[in-house]
Structure formats: C-alpha cells, structure tokens
Homo-oligomer: A and B are copies of this chain.
Amino acid sequence: MCGIFGAYSFSGEDVVKKIYYGLYALQHRGQEGAGIAVSNGKNIYSYKGLGLVSEVFSKEVINSLRGQVGIGHVRYSTTGGTFVENCQPFIVNSTLGNLAIAHNGDILNSHILREELEKQGHIFTSSTDSEVIAHLLVKELLRTGDIIRSIEEVSKKIVGAYSLVILYNNSLIAVRDPYGFKPLCIGKDEKDNYYISSESCGLDVINGELIRDVSPGEIIIINRNGIETYRIEENPGGSTCMFEYVYFARPDSIIDGISVYNVRRRLGKVLAKEEPCEGDLVSPVPDSGVTSAIGYSEELGIPYYEALIKNRYVGRTFILPSQEERDLAVRLKLNPVKPIIEGKRVILIDDSIVRGTTSKRIVNIVRKAGAKEVHLRVGSPRIISPCYYGIDMPTKEELIASSKSLEEIRRYINVDSLGYLSVQGLIRGIGREDLCLACVTGRYPTDVSCKFCCK
C-alpha cells in the first residue's frame, strides 16, 4: 500500500513538521519505513529509515531538515525486502535538476521497463517502482526539458496503479493514474500552504481543509507560478480500489467525496439485509469489523457487543515460541470477553477473509470462551483473484475462496453459518460504480499479462 504526502508553502513557511504530522496520520498505510525529502531551493535533503514515523525521525533529524516544499512516504512491506534502500522518496540530485519521488501503487510492467533501462546501461540501487519511474522521468526530461510533458510520456509507458508526489526543483507535483486506483487528495490551510495526501485524514491533523480529490489521470503542479492542472490523455475511466473503503483507509477519511465511515456502516446494513442471522449479539472482529458490525447490529436490532478485545500494544516485534507460533500470535492480539460470550449465539462481523487461517483461529477462540453458536458475516465478497495494484495479497492458490465453496469455507473456519456480501451489495454500499473489483470478480481493469510474461 504505502501512503504519500506533499506540502508547498506559498508563504515560505517551513513545511517539514507538516509532512511529519501528515505521515503520522497516514501511518496505518505503512509501518515498515518512512522518509521525507525537502528542497531548500537549491538541493534536496532527505532522511529515510526503517520503522514507524516516530522511530525514524528524531527531533534532531526533523530540525535538521528545512524547506518550503517537500514530500514524504510511509512504506508498507510488499516486494523488495526490508532494506532501507527500498524506503522512499527516491532522490536524484543531478546537474539536470533535483528530483524526489514517492509512490503508492504497483507498476505491473516495471520489471520489463527496468530490464530495458538496464540494457541501456542504467543502474538501479533499489527494487522500488519509484526508481524505475525516476529513471524514465529523467530520460524524458533530457529529451523534452519539460516536466509535465515528461510525466505524460512516462505515464504512457507504465501500466498499473500509481499515485505519486514528485518534488522537482522547487515544484510540488501530484499525479494520479488514469484509473484512479489509489486515493489522492489536495488541501490547504489558513496560511496558504497547500498539501497533497493519500487520504483526507492527513489534512485534518495539520488543520488543513480538503479542497478536492485529484482526478484519475490528473497532474497537478504547484510552484511559485501558482497551481496548474493537466490531464494525461488516455483516460479509461476510473476504477478506484474498493478495498480502500472496505479495509485499508482510515474510517475518518473521505475518498472521492464519499466518507469511508459511512460506507462501512452502510456495508453492515446491506450485509444485514442480504445475510441476516439469528443470534444473541453482534460483535466485530476488531478493528476492521467494528463499523460494519455497528451497522449490522442496528439493522437487525440485535445488541452490539465487543466480544473480542484487541491488545493495543501488539507491535511488530514480539518473541514467539517456535511452535504454536501463529496461534499464540492471534491470542496475544485478540482476547475474548468470556462473560458476554458464554452460552450465547455470537454473530461475528469481519471486513474480509483472505486465507481463512486467522478467521479459523478467531472462531476457535470464541468457541473456547463458551459460545453456543458462532456465525460469521463478511462485509465484502469472496476474494477469488490476487491484486496486482499494490495490495499485498497471497497467490491465488492461498486465497481460500478461489477454490473452496461457501460450504467448504464454512466448515474450514468452523462456523455455524457463514455469509458474504454480494458484489452488487458492495457497489450499493460504497455508492459508486467506477470501482476496481478485480479481486472479487477476476476482471482486471488493465492488461495484466505482463505480470506473467518473463519473471
């Protein structure tokens, strides 16, 4: 996934802390690494590291960076391994100009583009798409000398999902791919500072106001000349990732004009209509199931309880015994509230099922806590195909719904009944149709063949 953020101050204010707080609010989009790059008018200075925003940036580091324009990135662990080299923004300090790029999404044909570039003598030091985009951009810049034209040319070559913030000399540029897979929005504050953020919650934290979303295929450039907007020619129509609403984004964000919180509550209500259930209480699998569970409970008039408490100190590192590893991991994270479970028919609500192994473990915990019956309702359709657009998912074989029938899944997870939201219900709940639904339908908005061609 990853989260990106950009800031430009017309008043010449230092934007480093703004970026820092923005990344803080986007931390749920990536906990593996973080980076900030700012331009002081002449050079780009940057700092990146592995870990949470608060771990990467000490007070000293923040105070050592200074600039009135800059970008930032929080990194999620997908391809590329946990190396600081793979942290973003990717920086180019060259005599041709200075460039920093931060990327959210996944370029399907990056390995092909990379190989071509390597054949031309280009050298890569990371395994990020950012670096491939940087190389392509610099190549075009050499030819055209114009950053907007260069971005347009590069976007013709790259296939996939990309929301980008680019720092070019003293300009801040935002790019959202023509499909609009990943969210990206623009905001401003009272002091005439402009911001680009993966989600609107990144604007709230710095007292910014959401202006609007960057449109699919739009390029926005902010510099001393003001704000200009361009459009990448080929515009296939939007297909924004439905999973952002269902799971990934923060509930307090607004994506393309639609409140994530309201979507989740509505999904709970639609689910209740499509897959009602008899039971004594409705409980979420926290945190992702909370809001839908409230909607589900309200729709059916069954009381809402938190039957599972999530340990909020479960971090990325704790010491597991080699055996029973995963079981214990789930138990450390989620603890049942036995007194409200005992002897009850529990209806659990979660946002989605991927492999099914975690769900199975959770159901087991609830059963052991004394539930009479355990029912599971899922706030999204069956995931049957992997995502190629930047959401980290297992291979098709590991997706439980790609091969197993509803009944087989029910038996595997060991619930008394199981119900998924329908694709139509999902679209209704979200309230828009220009969505990517590939992982639940198998129909990909882009050509995905290059994913298989030559790796």
Asked if B261 contacts A337 (CB within 8 A), the reply is yes
Q: A54 touches which one: B84, B114, B252, B315 (CB < 8 A)?
A: B315
Measured between beta carbons, the chain B residues less than 8 angstroms from A53 are: 313, 318
Q: A318 touches which one: B24, B204, B262, B318 (CB < 8 A)?
A: B24
Q: Determine the distance from Cα of A213 to Cα of B248 in the docked complex, in whole angstroms.
A: 41
User: Using an 8 Å CB-CB cutoff, how does the interface string of A91-116 with B read, 1 for contact, 0 for none?
Assistant: 11111100000000000000000110
Asked if A262 contacts B339 (CB within 8 A), the reply is yes
A340 → chain B closest CB, angstroms:
6
Say if the beta carbon of A290 comes within 8 Å of chain B: yes
Asked if A119 contacts B142 (CB within 8 A), the reply is yes
Asked if A339 contacts B254 (CB within 8 A), the reply is yes
Asked if B319 contacts A17 (CB within 8 A), the reply is yes
Say if the beta carbon of A304 comes within 8 Å of chain B: yes
Asked if A142 contacts B121 (CB within 8 A), the reply is yes
**Chain B CB within 10 Å — which of A24, A57, A121, A339 has the most?**
A121
Q: A62-B319, A207-B331 are in contact. Are A313 and B122 (CB under 8 A)?
A: no
Measured between beta carbons, the chain B residues less than 8 angstroms from A338 are: 252, 254, 259
A159 → chain B closest CB, angstroms:
19
Q: Which of A132-140, A189-197, A229-237, A354-362 lies on the face that meets chain B?
A: A132-140
Say if the beta carbon of A37 comes within 8 Å of chain B: no
Asked if B125 contacts A205 (CB within 8 A), the reply is no
Q: Determine the distance from Cα of A376 to Cα of B324 in the docked complex, in whole angstroms.
A: 46
Asked if A118 contacts B96 (CB within 8 A), the reply is yes
Q: Determine the distance from Cα of A5 to Cα of B54 in the docked complex, in whole angstroms.
A: 30
Say if the beta carbon of A11 comes within 8 Å of chain B: no
Asked if A309 contacts B251 (CB within 8 A), the reply is yes
Least CB separation from A314: chain B residue: B24
Identical copies of this chain, number: 4
Q: Determine the distance from Cα of A321 to Cα of B335 in the docked complex, in whole angstroms.
A: 38
Least CB separation from A369: chain B residue: B204
User: Using an 8 Å CB-CB cutoff, how does the interface string of A126-154 with B read, 1 for contact, 0 for none?
Assistant: 00000100110011001000000000000
Q: A28 touches which one: B24, B31, B312, B321 (CB < 8 A)?
A: B312
Q: A24-B313, A125-B91 are in contact. Are A259 and B339 (CB under 8 A)?
A: yes
Say if the beta carbon of A59 comes within 8 Å of chain B: yes
Q: Determine the distance from Cα of A84 to Cα of B83 in the docked complex, in whole angstroms.
A: 13
Say if the beta carbon of A306 comes within 8 Å of chain B: yes
User: Using an 8 Å CB-CB cutoff, how does the interface string of A206-245 with B read, 1 for contact, 0 for none?
Assistant: 0100000000000000000000000000000000000000
Q: A122-B122, A303-B298, A306-B290 are in contact. Are A335 and B20 (CB under 8 A)?
A: no
Say if the beta carbon of A311 comes within 8 Å of chain B: yes
A294 → chain B closest CB, angstroms:
6
Least CB separation from A127: chain B residue: B93
Asked if A122 contacts B119 (CB within 8 A), the reply is no
Measured between beta carbons, the chain B residues less than 8 angstroms from A52 are: 313, 315
Asked if B337 contacts A25 (CB within 8 A), the reply is no
A314 → chain B closest CB, angstroms:
8
Q: Which residues of A contact B (CB under 8 A)?
A: 17, 20-21, 24-25, 27-28, 31, 52-54, 57-59, 62, 84, 91-96, 114-115, 118-125, 131, 134-135, 138-139, 142, 201, 204-205, 207, 250-252, 254, 259, 261-262, 265, 287, 290-291, 294, 298, 303-306, 309, 311-315, 317-319, 321, 328, 331-332, 335-340
8 further interface pairs, Cβ-Cβ under 8 Å (given A52-B313, A298-B303): A17-B319, A25-B332, A54-B317, A54-B318, A119-B142, A123-B138, A251-B306, A294-B306
23 A-B contact pairs sorted by A residue (CB < 8 Å): A21-B328, A25-B311, A27-B311, A28-B313, A53-B313, A84-B84, A93-B124, A94-B124, A95-B115, A121-B135, A123-B123, A123-B134, A204-B335, A250-B335, A251-B337, A252-B309, A252-B337, A254-B339, A261-B306, A261-B309, A290-B306, A294-B306, A312-B312
Give me the 3 closest cross-chain CB pairs, A-B, nearest first: A259-B339, A121-B139, A252-B309
